[in-house]
Structure 1
Amino acid sequence: MPRRKGAPEVNAGSMADIAFLLLIFFLVTTTIETDAGLDRMLPPFEPPTEEPPVIKQKNIFTVSINRNGQLLVEEKLMELTDLRKAATAFLENGGDGTCTYCKGKKDPNSSDNPVKAIISLKNDRETKYSTYITVQNELVGAYNDLRNREAQARYGRDFTDMESEYLNPETPTAVRDDLKEKVKKIQDLFPQKLSEAETSGNN
């Protein structure tokens, strides 16, 4: 019987050369992405030349939330349901008589006018986030209530609707141009000066 030949051998002598050529190919053709920063020239540091303006304590409405979620307004306990009313009364107090559109009590011990009035919100490190947001919403609501009132008196519609339409990119340019001046006018009457004080409590 004829002798059967074995399986033909594969010449693997050039496999190393092929692998090396493939490695070079991928190294040359592969694009390596690199993070690119923003190229900005920072202005030189200049110490302030003017002293910060002195703010009277009566123009600051302090609101604090302790670790138990209790509300302290001007260092007195207050229910959340009464906060918006108290903030509104402070903002439009008009103590110095310069605010012709304010309907406040003109208490000399409270804010002089809405432009000078500042609401300072402070919370404890252990304050619940939901409580903090609820309190902040009530304070912003006080601003919006006053702005809506003035917008209705001057333009016959709520400020919040006007602002929403003005900020909508789909609003026609002509309409936005008309709303821009009106929105700014109402914002200037009751500027939102809501300051978040440094958080208190232990680390």
Structure 2
Amino acid sequence: MKMSRNTNSGVNAGSMADIAFLLLIFFLVTTTFEEDQGIRSVIPKPCPEGVDCNAEIPKKNVFTIKLNRNDQLMANNEIISLDELRENVKVFLDNNGDQSCDYCQGDKKEDSSESPKKAIIAIETDREATYDAYINVQNELMGAYYELRKELSKTKFNKEVEDLTAEELKILKESYPFRITEAELN
């Protein structure tokens, strides 16, 4: 048998594009993409009717943290290190200045926060501060709240935080509510 000069002895690749397209769709459908966690923040709720939301906040209930362009911290007009921040925040939150908090273990100083429910953490960050320094400050603040809630969980419920019911977790969150702001408080 003699082959004709006009015959093409190549592989038919017409269906290769279809197979590649099907594989592409398969991988797009079956691949899971990791979701960025980011920083969990809650936008304040609108002011309820009949409540004066512009009321003056006593300075003793505000713990001011300033982060400058050199990533140095100042807490309540005192330069501190990042390592000291968590303990300072815990002391401030747990102070119990008005002695209305039956679970607080603080020193009851009159020039510090009245109770955890009235305490506010105000963060002022320089535009040139690094993102890592800002995140480290946020981590220390969350750590302070978590440690206070953990201690309360042991004393009030005699349980670890991981073993609490939804209702018990709600009580912890209400006992030490996150009240962190980045707005300037005058």
CA distance in 1, matches of 2:160, 2:129: 33
Other-structure match for 2:124: 122
CA distance in 1, matches of 2:72, 2:157: 39
Task: From 152, 155, 177, give the equivalent of 1:153.
Answer: 155
Any residues of structure 2 matched to 1:92-103 within 5 Å, and which?
92-103=94-105
Residue 64 of structure 2 aligns to a residue in which SS?
strand
- In structure 2, the gaps of 5 or more residues are 1-48
Cα shift at 1:156: 3.0
CA distance in 2, matches of 1:189, 1:49: 24
Cα shift at 1:66: 0.2
Cα shift at 1:180: 1.4
CA distance in 2, matches of 1:101, 1:49: 30
Residue 100 of structure 1 aligns to a residue in which SS?
coil
Question: Compared with structure 1, are the counterparts of its residues 99 and 125 closer, same or farther at alpha carbon in structure 2 (3 Å cutoff)?
Answer: same
Other-structure match for 2:145: 143
Question: Compared with structure 1, are the counterparts of its residues 185 and 49 closer, same or farther at alpha carbon in structure 2 (3 Å cutoff)?
Answer: closer
1:193 aligned to 2:176? Answer: no
CA distance in 1, matches of 2:89, 2:125: 17
Q: Report the structure number with the largest CA radius of gyration.
A: 1
Aligned 8 A contact 1:60 1:119 in 2: yes
Other-structure match for 1:107: 109
Cα shift at 1:130: 0.4
Aligned 8 A contact 1:146 1:190 in 2: yes
Task: From 82, 88, 91, give the equivalent of 1:89.
Answer: 91
CA distance in 1, matches of 2:77, 2:85: 13
Cα shift at 1:149: 0.4
Residue 62 of structure 1 aligns to a residue in which SS?
strand
TM-score, scaled to structure 2: 0.68
Other-structure match for 1:51: 52
Aligned 8 A contact 1:162 1:183 in 2: no
Moved over 4 A (4+): none
Cα shift at 1:131: 0.4
Q: 1:126-153 deviations in whole A, cap 9, x for unaligned?
A: 0100000001100111100000001112
Letter in structure 2 aligned against 1:99? C
Letter in structure 2 aligned against 1:123? T
Any residues of structure 2 matched to 1:51-90 within 5 Å, and which?
51-52=52-53, 53-90=55-92
% of aligned pairs identical? Answer: 39
Residue 119 of structure 1 aligns to a residue in which SS?
strand
Cα shift at 1:195: 1.2
- In structure 1, the gaps of 5 or more residues are 1-47, 164-178, 199-203
Question: Compared with structure 1, are the counterparts of its residues 114 and 49 closer, same or farther at alpha carbon in structure 2 (3 Å cutoff)?
Answer: closer
Any residues of structure 2 matched to 1:29-40 within 5 Å, and which?
none
Other-structure match for 1:36: none
CA distance in 2, matches of 1:139, 1:63: 10
Letter in structure 2 aligned against 1:143? Y
Q: How many residues align?
A: 136
CA distance in 1, matches of 2:52, 2:92: 27
